Structure 1
Amino acid sequence: MASTTAAAVRRLCAAGDVRSALALLARGSKAGDAALDVAACTALVHGCCRSGDAAEARRVFDVMPRLGLAPNEVTFTALIHGYFICGHREDGLALFEEMLSRGVEPNLYTYNILIGEWCRTGEFERARRLFDEMPAKGVARNVVSYNTLIAGLCRHGKLKDAAQLLEIMRAEGIRPTVVTFNLLVDGYGKAGKMSNALHFSNQMRAAGYQPTAVTYNALIAGFCRARDIARANKALSDMKERGLAPTKVTYTILIDALARDNHMDRALEMFAQMEKTGLEVDVHTYGVLVHALCAEGKMKDARKLFQLMAEKGVRANNVIYDMLIYGYGREGSSYKAMKLITEMRKNGLVPNSASYGLTIRSLCNDGKLSEAETLIDDMLHAGLQTSESICQALLDAKARQTSSTDDSFP
């Protein structure tokens, strides 16, 4: 019976049925079932964390001593990771301290998770201290340890440090992966250092790997960021020649670059090409084009694209609505802007303060004071603060209306 209960808990957790596993744990702990072992409880902690319930995972963790079970390094690591992914960072760090105080030594996965968390917040000294501590504690670093630290360094622009880690990695006899090289290509591409990005894509080939769609997307994005569309197109051609199909990310990068350079015809051609390939055009791609059309004042075309989105079943987000409201507000189409604000609110979206402000000022300029006041009330109801400029626009509009009424009666 003992081993059967523990095995059943592990089996249910593996199948994702955490609720049934918890019920089994509750029955077992009530009956003082010695069947429940550390592995079963750890599986439950992991299962609860994976389903986003860190509080329940902690309850399981706290029940273990009452069952005569001591959480091990795997149990601690599962809960620390769970706290991090659920956004309870301080609880995760406190649990790590508790782990050490109980004399439980961190394992490879504990270190990798903590290094990742410190990198996420840009606290590289702490991340590096843990990274350097691993060999001293008898924990062999692996490719994930290196890639985690390289990713964090690249994300925060510490590219030289990231490149140095590649050399240390090789010296330690750990073979870099495609992910390692892609991180460096992307990092240098985002920094506009395309010669370095190309250097690491060449190193990838020299290491026996073929560039992936991720590699090409990073290069294309880098060239677009450097406003070198010719080389971006060359990278696209090379990608296709190697039998790699451009992804929706590839197309979106190029559409965005062409739109920003005011090559709207070419951007729309690229958009049509993307649709023709059968790739799903998402809200981000539509947003790139809507933004460019609104910025150019081509509101009819922007509206057509907005309607096409609805026809294709793509739900507009706050950003797209705010762009259209901005475009209509700027051209003085106050009613169109107001209609979009109403539509947003019906769809459960809240316009930003700039959208409200621009529309209210536009309504004031058109003398539509009751509509402007309705929007101010709506803005306050949404929890947004009115600015001084909005209040002044309303006061000025009221003054103009009073003046015009006075002038009509001599």
Structure 2
Amino acid sequence: MPPGPRACPAFFGRLLKTGIPTNIVTYSSLFKCLCDMKRTDEALDVLLHRMSDDLANVISYSVILKSFCDNGRSQLALDLLQMMAKKGADHSPGVVSYNLVIDGLFKEGEVSKACDLFHEMIRQGVVPDEVTYSYIINALCKAGAMDKAELIVRQMVHNGVQPHNRIYNTLIHGYLTLGQLKEAFRLLKVMRSQGVMPNVVTCNSVMDYFCKNGRIKEAEEIFYSMTVNDRKPSIVSYSTMVHGYAIEGSLVDMIDLCELMARDGVVPDLHCFCILISAYAKYGMMDVAMLFFEDMLKQG
């Protein structure tokens, strides 16, 4: 029986003492084991001080980079990435390594450092991919810097990377969050002109905007057009419409939509149940609210 995760480092130590040759697969298994146990510092020590430079590769570094980022230690990941770049061609970080650290920095709110690293990777001759661009664009949209986000999209296209749904959805959501419906619809036209069709996520964003701004009929048009265009509404789509009806006080429409959900085999999630219970409680219909509460418990 192979050693368990906690026995792995000790087992590796005994293996080294036997003189049996080790290879990159052996080390990669050790690094993964240590990182899974949140002993990333030990993995880094082995990589830097017990593993020969000719054996270490970018994959070994990436395991440790990811572990640092996953555990909120992106500054250490950034330091390691910069160390890799200084070691020369054999250890130069690629786009995957940069993506790991950029994403980690953004998640920790280090927007300036992440953007600096993005520009640094370009200076180092590493070509960003769609994942890299999506991280940058998402951060800019969250900050409301839509002009800068669109500038990055233009740079992305210039570099031969075609934006897909995820990029456009992020931009559209950004404009809708700022209440700039005209700009959101402009992007919808751009999407279609480039052969990128709006998906369920796109529709949900626009529906959510309409529902929150008292334009329930326009939200309905989008919702019911989804099935015509072979875009099956998701639980998020249904929850968005249920919330819109709840805001309007349209309880009959809300029940009709719940029946449609049942016919389509879409099971309400916790969020959807909470909207229903809250809506009926608000209008003093506690008996109906309790029925939904009991149904929620039955659904697990």
TM over 0.5: yes
| Contact 1:338–1:359 (8 Å) recurs in 2 | no
Match of 1:219 in 2: 136
Verify: 1:292 aligned to 2:206, yes or no: no
| 2:151 corresponds to 1:234 | yes
Q: Percent same amino acid at aligned positions? A: 26
Q: 1:252, 1:285 within 8 Å by CA — same for their partners in 2? A: yes
Query: Displacement of 1:113 after TM fit?
Result: 5.0
The answer (yes or no) to whether the contact 2:34–2:42 under 8 Å persists in 1 is no
Given the alignment, which residue of 128, 136, 146 partners 2:50? 136
| Partner residue, 1:112 | 28
Go from structure 1 to structure 2 and tell me whether the alpha carbon gap of 1:148 and 1:355 turns closer, same or farther (over 3 Å shift): same
Distance 1:314 1:116 in 2: 40
1:246 maps to which residue? 163
Stretches of structure 1 lacking an aligned partner (at least 5 in a row): 1-61, 63-75, 77-90, 384-410
Q: Within 5 Å, give how 1:11-410 maps onto structure 2.
A: 93=5, 96=8, 103=15, 107-112=23-28, 115-116=31-32, 119=35, 124=38, 126-134=39-47, 135-136=49-50, 140-173=55-88, 174-363=91-280, 374-383=291-300
Three-state SS of the structure 2 residue aligned to 1:281 is coil
**Is the CA contact (8 Å cut-off) linking 2:31 and 2:63 kept in structure 1?**
yes
Gaps of 5+ in 2: none
Cα drift, residue 144 of structure 1: 1.0
CA deviation profile, 1:152-197 (whole Å, cap 9, x unmatched): 3334442211111013323444111122223333333444544423
Per the alignment, do residues 163 and 360 of structure 1 end up closer, same or farther by CA in structure 2, a change over 3 Å counting?
closer
Number of residue equivalences: 292
User: For the residues of structure 2 that align with 1:358 and 1:210, how far apart are their CA atoms?
Assistant: 45
Alpha-carbon distance, 1:266 to partner? 1.6
Give 1:258 shift: 0.8
Residues 282-312 of structure 1, C-alpha deviations (whole Å, 9 max, x = no match): 3333333333333323222222222222122
Q: C-alpha distance in 2, partners of 1:268/1:380?
A: 40
**What TM-score comes out, normalization by structure 1 length?**
0.61
Flag the 1:271–1:359 CA change in 2: closer, same or farther, 3 A: same
Deviation string 1:221-264 (CA, Å, 9 cap, x unpaired) is 22112221121122122223333322222111101111111112
- Quote the RMSD (CA, aligned, Å): 3.4
- Residue 342 of structure 1 and its aligned partner are, at CA, apart by 2.8
Question: Quick check: 1:192–1:222 contact (8 Å CA) kept in 2?
Answer: no
- Is residue 192–residue 225 contact of structure 1 (8 Å, CA) maintained in 2? no
Query: Which letter maps to 2:28?
Result: N
Shift of 1:110: 4.8
SS of the aligned residue for 2:163 comes to coil
Go from structure 1 to structure 2 and tell me whether the alpha carbon gap of 1:329 and 1:113 turns closer, same or farther (over 3 Å shift): farther
